[in-house]
Structure 1
C-alpha cells in the first residue's frame, strides 16, 4: 500500500524547531544542503536561506520542518507524507475507507482521515516535500 516518506512539522521557526528535535532523537542529523538539495528546494519554490525548510535524516523516516506563517485552524501541525506506487488507485481506496480529498496537486494529493487529520499521498517515484 504505502510507506511513510516523511514526517512533516508545519512551524514558524524551522531551524530552531529542527535543532530541538535533532538534540532529542538519537541517530538523527541535520541534512546537509549540497548543490543538489539546493536545486531541489529551488524547484519547489523554497529558499533555504529564508529558513523555509529544514530536514533531518536518521534511522527512520526523514523529518521535515517547513515554515507556515501563523496557525491555520484547518491544518494539523504534524502530518505524514506517504509514498504510494499508484496514487489514483490509493486515493480511491482511501476515500472509500472514509478519507476526504482536500486538494489534488501535480505531485501529491492532500487528504483528511476520518477524524479530519491531514496527510499527503505522494507518487512513489518522486521525492518531494508537502
Structure 2
C-alpha cells in the first residue's frame, strides 16, 4: 500500500541515490551525450516503472540531460512507491553507464531546482480566480481551497502561491520568486548570489528559507525542505 512520506523521510530515503527532495517531489538530473540518448534513458525509466509511470513519473528531455521527477499525482506527495521507483530508475541509469548523483566540481552544472512565484495579497480568495484563468492553471490534487496554490496542468510553468498580507505595503514588491534548491546546495547558491551583488535580508527562517535581494530591492527566497517538519 502506498504511504505518504514526510519531507525528511522522503529526503533521507533517496539522498544516497543522488535524488533530491523538492516541494513534494523527488528529482534527479541524469547527464547524457545526445538527444537520442536522452530519449533512450527516459524510455528505460518509463519501462522500469511499468504501469506506475503515468501517475508517478515525469521526464524533461534535453540533448545534454534528462531530469526525472517522481511524485504521486493522486496525492501530490512522495510515497513509498515513489521511493521504490527511484531505486529501480537509478539501477537502469547505472546499467546504461550514467548516474543519478549530482555532478561535482567548479564547472559542474547545477543539479535540480524548482521555481515558484509568490503573490502577496490582502484578499487571496478574490485574486486567485484571476491568476488561475489568465495563466490557464489548475488546482493541485487535494488543494482546491480558495487560498491554495495553483499549478500548471502540463508542468511547463512555475507554481503560484499566495502570501497573506496584513496591510498594504506599497513600498515593496508584491510578487517575488522562490527558488527551491537541494538542501545541501543552498549555502553555495546563497554565497554565489551575495558575491554577485545580492544582499541577505533575512535568515530568521533558515534553513526553510533565506530572503535575498538585488541592489534595487527585488526579492527572492532561497528555500529548502529543511526546517518545515520533523
TM-score (norm 2): 0.43
Q: Is the 8 A contact 1:101 1:110 kept in 2?
A: yes
Instruction: Give a deviation string over 1:73-127, Cα, whole Å, max 9, x none.
Output: 553100000022311111111111011001012301001112211110012x56x
Alignment of 1:73-88 (within 5 A): 73=170, 75-85=172-182, 86-88=185-187
Question: Which whole-Å CA distance do the structure 2 matches of 1:102 and 1:74 have between them?
Answer: 15
Q: Is the 8 A contact 1:8 1:66 kept in 2?
A: yes
Whether the aligned pair in 2 keeps the contact of 1:75 and 1:118 (CA below 8 Å) is no
Aligned residues: 110
Q: Distance in 1 between matches of 2:218 and 2:140?
A: 27
State the structure with more CA Rg: 2
Task: Give the drift of 1:70.
Answer: 1.3
Give the alignment's Cα RMSD to 1 decimal. Answer: 2.4
Equivalent pair of 2:151/2:160 in contact (CA under 8 Å): yes
- Which position in structure 1 is the counterpart of 2:189? 90
Q: TM-score normalized by structure 1?
A: 0.72
Q: 1:31 aligns with which of 140, 157, 170?
A: 140
In proportion to residue count, which structure has more strand? 1
- What runs of 5+ residues in structure 1 fail to find an aligned partner? 38-47
Structure 2: gaps (5+ residues): 1-109
- SS of the residue corresponding to residue 54 of structure 1 reads coil
Q: In structure 1, the residue corresponding to 2:125 is in which secondary structure?
A: helix
Instruction: Tell me which protein shows more helix as a share of its residues.
Output: 2
